Amino acid sequence: MSGLFADPGWRRNGKITAHMTTEAAPTTDRALFPSGTWKGFYVYRGDPSRHRMDLQLTFSSGLIDGEGGDDVGAFTITGRYDQDSLELNWNKAYTGSHSVHYRGFREGRGIWGTWTIGSSLSGGFRIWPDGTGSGESAAAQEALEAPSPGVVVEVHAKVQSKIVPPEGL
């Protein structure tokens, strides 16, 4: 295995270990990468404020397609995922505006990783399949599923120098 998440020693070190799950990984593409509604947040490097994202994603044969919205605006998503390495790379293109490159890793209940806009802006993110219902129970579930912003920022700091946009995207 190669790439950002190939070093098992890095994945076991530091505070991140406390946020790793010990759940057995699902064995099917559909279980690992379910198409449908996902939700989550992104943070800017150095700012723990969470910015909500709502996404509609389709995972099929190693390709990701979708759309969604956040506090910046509406966007489309195109990218790739690898079921063996559990790595994902995609571009989030805002309608009539800029694009953001995302690189993440499927683990536990969701996908976490980093985002970049050129070399000027960057941060972390976390998304997970929406299946929590609505109201207070959804808010409670979201709090359980989402790591603290400090963890996302810490992950970002450790991997920032290793982010390279994938070829062909």
Report the pLDDT value the prediction gives residue 169, as an integer from 0 to 100: 33
Burial class (CB in 10 A: 0-12, 13-18, 19+), 96: exposed
Residues of the chain with pLDDT under 70: 1-29, 132-169
* Domains parsed from the chain with CATH numbers: 34-162 (2.40.128.120)
Q: What is the pTM of this model?
A: 0.65
Q: CB within 8 A of 122, min separation 6: which ones?
A: 44, 45, 114, 115, 116, 156, 160, 163
Question: Which pLDDT does position 29 carry in this prediction?
Answer: 65
